[in-house]
A and B are shown apart, each in its own frame.
Chain A
Amino acid sequence: MEKKSLTQERLSRRWENIRRNWYKFSRNPLSITGLVIICIILFFAIFAPFLSPYPESAGKYINFYEASQPPNFAHLCGTDAFGRDILTRIFFGIRYSLMMAFTVLLLIVPVGVLLGVIAGYYRDRWLEIVIMRTTDIFIAIPPLILALAVCSVLTPSIYNAMFAISLAWWPWYTRLVYGVASSLSEEFFVQSAEVIGASKMHILLKEILLNCIAPILTKMSLDIGWIILIGSSLSFVGLGAQPPTADLGSMVADGSKYLPDQWWISVFPAFAIMFIVLSFNLFGDGIRDTLGVERG
């Protein structure tokens, strides 16, 4: 009986914590704006095939009869040179961008974080040296260049683009977590866990990792925007998603050929990119302020 009440107490405390954080988060109108936009974007991304006015425009589709129309009531954002509806393609483009960002985070966060925790805990051992010097090498080159280089040697596709971005991005998590973990490993609660004889697994995961969650979450929420930016840059030069895939970066690149007369082909996808990045930045800033992570 006693044990159950203990878990119950723990649960209710956690619940209380979440509620307090939510209160703090919701006091800031900008963060709420970000969250609302994200929800709307997610909704459109998930239900793109049902919500978009011309779902067939997302892929291989040619309709020269309606080609290069400026924005009108039938096509709110106009049509491109193949007669495909831009608004539809933006919906699908958002879908790809978000999928890309989430997949990259899913790939790199566990790896980067785990390496960071290990390096931070085993300070002054060979493990730390190997891990941290490897991250130094990866960080020595701007991520976009590394991603471009990796993409260029692989066959261009959206999956290889994700792989390239992941390869360029994981060291930042390792470095972030390393910083937090190495100061945590000096703390008393870690030392007492060692004295009691807790397993290394327990110390690494329960004692150190759980206390690194706030900066990791903050970085993740801010990174989604950056990953989308890099992904769109890759497809802008033709190393990311391949036609006829509706990708925001390659839509801007295609449309820039028709500037300035048919401005709508590239301007609306560009706005879409900015809109997504903006919402995730507002949201991330809110998370940072709520969790009390230092500005960096």
Chain B
Amino acid sequence: MGKIIKFIAKRLVYSVFVLVGLSILIFFIARVMPGNPARMALGARTPEWAIERLREEMHLDEPLYIQYYYWVKGALHGNFGTSLVTRRSVAEDIKVFFPASLELALYAGIFMGIIGITLGTISGWYSNTWVDNLVRIISYMGIITPSFVFAIFFVLIFGFVLQILPTMGRLSPGVVLPPSITGMVTFDALITGRFNVFFDALKHLLLPALSLAMGPLSQGARITRATFVDNAQKDYIANERSCGIPERTIMFKYLLKPSLIPTITVFGMDFAAIIGNAFLVELIFSWPGLSRYGMNAMLQKDLNAMIAVVIVLGLMFIIVNTIVDLIVGYLDPRIGLGAEMSGK
């Protein structure tokens, strides 16, 4: 147990360091941009004195490191400044939009894990048969297709041609949002026991989550298959067969567990793809999430909002990778948690 605590503590120190670095990086990127953010926030016809006042308010007239100092001071108190476009508190906005993105990423992650590992296992178990070949072709297609293309195809097929799944927003018009407990509609609906809302929300989630998950799940299937086939030829499996251990036990207990290690390691990186592609997919599905908020902030050069979104997503990414490392440490006693941090 002490090992786990030590590992988490080590990870924590590392995360703080990375977050500070990331904030400096993104702060610098956001502030070197040409043009006057105060003027852009207020519009071209605002009198000079108003712009000067906003500049002072935002500390834009001071050197960059002092601006950064003020920003960090605010951020530590949970205050990311006000949006330059909407003049609302960025932290408040993030509280509203983050759960929607988290929900989407969570479901995409679930699809990625379940479908990816299942496909990979089937493909590996029936290796070099037509099932295997079919899965391999499908997963290749999944890898090479950009997620926004999946999103467009899904909208076209399920939304327009078949008309069986909704393609806009989180809930059908007329359905009342359940009281916000977690902010994630499906969970809130389950907690309050409103199953019709749950199914409606689930239907809305399906297409965006699938478009996000297609690439990573294909990657997962490919890697699971490769390791599975690799491990199936090892001596210990032949030994177990000769001892008369049932095939089912061999497959799940002795083959699948070690075969999942590379897959789960890669899932940590694939999560980056999910968060990144959410920027496009949320836009296509009008999903009211943090990524769409961030995308709009970027398009409108809303600096405070942009910095905050990047920091929040960076934090999320670090947390996911810590969890992935913990799982890999559990699955593979040889790696353990005392080993070097992979940091991926």
Contacts and interface: CB of A to CB of B under 8 A. Distances in A.
Contacts of A144: 273, 276-277, 279
Contact of A145 (B30, B140, B276, B343): B276
Interface string A131-149: 0011011111111111011
Contact of B279 (A140, A148, A150, A259): A148
Q: Chain A CB within 10 Å — which of B146, B294, B313 has the most?
A: B146
A123 to B, nearest CB: 12
B32 interface: yes
Contacts of B19: 140
Contact of A138 (B25, B144, B149): B25
B31 to A, nearest CB: 9
Interface in B143-162: 143-146, 148-149, 152-153, 155-156, 160-161
A229 B18 CA distance: 27
Contact of A273 (B146, B161, B223): B146
Contacts of B314: 140-141
Contact of B149 (A134, A149, A270): A270
Interface in B1-40: 14, 17-19, 21-22, 25-26, 29-30, 32-33
Main secondary structure on B side of the interface with A: helix
Interface stretch (B78-86, B185-193, B196-204, B295-303): B295-303
B29 A149 contact: yes
A190 to B, nearest CB: 21
B299 A277 contact: no
Nearest to B313: A145
A52 interface: no
A150 B310 CA distance: 11
B237 interface: no
A136 B298 contact: no
Interface residues of B, number: 51
Contact of B18 (A137, A149, A278, A281): A137
Contacts of A145: 275-276, 279, 294, 310, 313
Given A252-B152, A259-B152, A260-B161, A136 B21 contact: yes
Interface in A229-283: 229, 232-233, 236-239, 252, 256, 259-260, 263, 266, 270, 273-274, 277-278, 281
Contact of B301 (A142, A153, A270): A153
Given A141-B22, A145-B313, A263-B156, A233 B148 contact: yes
Contacts of B146: 229, 232-233, 236, 270, 273-274
A157 interface: no
Interface in B28-54: 29-30, 32-33
B261 interface: no
B306 interface: yes
For chain A, which range describes its interface: under 10, 10 to 19, 20 to 34, or 35 or more residues? 35 or more
B317 interface: yes
A152 interface: yes
A137 B22 contact: yes
B298 to A, nearest CB: 4
Contacts of A239: 298-299
Contacts of A252: 148-149, 152
Contacts of A11: none
Contacts of A134: 21
Interface in B257-293: 262, 272-273, 275-277, 279-280, 283-284
A225 interface: yes
Contacts of B262: 295
Interface in A122-171: 133-134, 136-146, 148-154
Given A143-B276, A145-B275, A232-B146, A150 B317 contact: no
B234 to A, nearest CB: 17
B295 A148 contact: yes
Interface string B154-172: 0110001100000000000
B29 A153 contact: yes
B158 to A, nearest CB: 11
B255 interface: no
Given A137-B18, A141-B317, A295-B226, A277 B298 contact: no
Contact of A133 (B21, B156, B277): B21
B313 A259 contact: no
Closest 7 CB pairs of A and B: A144-B276, A137-B21, A152-B298, A153-B33, A142-B272, A142-B276, A277-B144
